[in-house]
């Protein structure tokens, strides 16, 4: 049991970008804070690059090698649903990538878990028809723009039929049941704006843009 807990601690540290307290780890793993401190000493003795101390928190060096993860049933359910949702809601490239990811995960699962993963009765249904994906022809390029922090020039047609030309700093994408919504900083309006991906009539990718306080996605989310 302790070996499983030690791997769980490494896993908890691996997915966090900031230091995590012993109290938080103790609560998540169902043990005492004292046990966490003992486990930290053990992990360090085995060579795990863990930094921090009690009262400050602990961090794991980025890129530290961990053995293959063993997924529990809830984690497998989350993976299955996430992949199946992506296949239904994504553009062609994203759906294809989801299938590749599913194959890679299947290949590394223990035999006992593979059956549950393949046959999980968790289905995804969308009202979106196959032909409705046509208007999402720019979604792949928007995803790249989000990843690379690029400005784009778009021709946009609003729901009431009004057309406009916009230059925007692409910040993020949100998928709803029927639509993908682009959140961006609009240079013409000098403020945050949302655009439905299926209403974009043309798109031209421009240069990258720097980080600007007050104009980031987290700043937009604070306004909601």
144's tokens: 């790249």
Residues 106 and 145 in one domain: no
Give the domain range for residue 112. 73-119
Query: pLDDT band for position 1 (50/70/90)?
Result: low
Residues 146 and 218 in one domain: yes
CATH assignment at residue 208? 2.30.30.520
- Beta-sheet pairing, 57-60 with 50-53: antiparallel
For residue 67, being part of any structural domain is answered with: no
CATH assignment at residue 19? 1.10.10.10
Residues 106 and 140 in one domain: no
For residue 111, being part of any structural domain is answered with: yes
Higher pLDDT, 105 or 159: 159
- Number of domains the chain is built from: 3
In Å, how far are 80, 102, 109, 156 from 122, measured between CA atoms?
Answer: 7, 15, 18, 37
| Cα 37 to Cα 52: distance, rounded to the nearest angstrom | 11
Q: Give the pLDDT confidence of 148-201 residue by residue, as tens digits.
A: 999 999 999 999 999 999 999 999 999 887 789 999 999 999 999 999 999 999
Average pLDDT over residues 78-88: 86
Residues 168 and 214 in one domain: yes
């Amino acid at each position: 049991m302790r070996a499983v807990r030690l791997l769980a601690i490494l896993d908890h540290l691996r997915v966090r970008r900031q230091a995590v307290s012993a109290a938080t780890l103790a609560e998540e793993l169902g043990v005492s804070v004292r046990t966490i401190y003992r486990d930290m000493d053990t992990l360090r003795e085995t060579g795990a690059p863990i930094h921090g101390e009690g009262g400050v928190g602990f961090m794991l060096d980025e890129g530290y090698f961990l053995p293959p993860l063993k997924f529990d049933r809830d984690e497998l359910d989350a993976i299955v649903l996430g992949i199946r949702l992506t296949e239904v809601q994504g553009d062609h490239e994203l759906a294809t990538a989801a299938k590749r990811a599913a194959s890679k995960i299947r290949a590394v699962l223990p035999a006992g878990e593979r059956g549950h993963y393949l046959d999980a009765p968790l289905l995804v249904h969308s009202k979106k028809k196959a032909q409705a994906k046509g208007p999402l022809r720019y979604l792949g390029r928007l995803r790249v723009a989000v990843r690379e922090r690029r400005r784009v020039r778009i021709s946009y047609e609003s729901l009431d039929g009004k057309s406009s030309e916009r230059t925007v700093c692409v910040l993020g994408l949100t998928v709803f049941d029927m639509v993908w919504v682009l959140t961006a900083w609009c240079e013409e309006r000098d403020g945050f704006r949302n655009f439905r991906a299926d209403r974009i009539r043309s798109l031209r990718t421009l240069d990258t843009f720097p980080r600007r306080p007050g104009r980031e996605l987290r700043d937009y989310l604070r306004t909601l």
